[in-house]
Structure 1
Amino acid sequence: MKNIATIVLALAAGTSLTACSTLRGGAIGAAGGAGVAAATGGSVERGAAVGGVGGAVVGTVADD
């Protein structure tokens, strides 16, 4: 049972590196999008959503 748990944890750790870049990019993009939208008088929610999607894509692509 411990061997299976070790293998699962090793696989999760290996795949989480890409996920970490995706999440980090999404968070930075969402913050930037919300900030720009707030500064320009636009919809903060829409700015955060668009920035988050764009940041997640860039984080995933840049990680590869």
Structure 2
Amino acid sequence: MRIPQIFFALATCAGLAACGDTTGEQALLGGGAGAVGAAVLSADPLFGAAVGAAGNVLYCKTQNYCN
């Protein structure tokens, strides 16, 4: 049972590490990671996608890390 949890954790980290070059890519990648994380936690995937998209775009724009 431990292997799927470890695999999910690694996949989530890889998804969050990918910023994207444009604002659209950043929103898409963040939204995908947020939706998957919310689904695993039995929360609303649409809310998770919205939070993930906003969070990734905000982080990339304020830190100038992605562009």
- TM-score of the pair, normalised by structure 2: 0.57
Within a 5 Å distance, the mapping from 1:1-64 to structure 2 comes to 20=22, 22-61=23-62, 62-63=65-66
- Which consecutive aligned stretches of 4+ in structure 1 deviate over 6 angstroms post-superposition? none
Q: CA RMSD in A?
A: 1.8
**Which ranges in structure 1 are unaligned for 5 or more consecutive residues?**
1-18
**Which ranges in structure 2 are unaligned for 5 or more consecutive residues?**
1-20
Larger radius of gyration: 1
Identity percentage over the alignment?
A: 27
Number of residue equivalences: 45
Once the two structures are superposed, what CA deviation does each residue of 1:19-62 show, in whole Å capped at 9, x if it has no partner?
81x22221111000000000110000100000000011122232
Find the aligned partners of 1:51 and 1:35 in 2 and give their Cα distance.
10
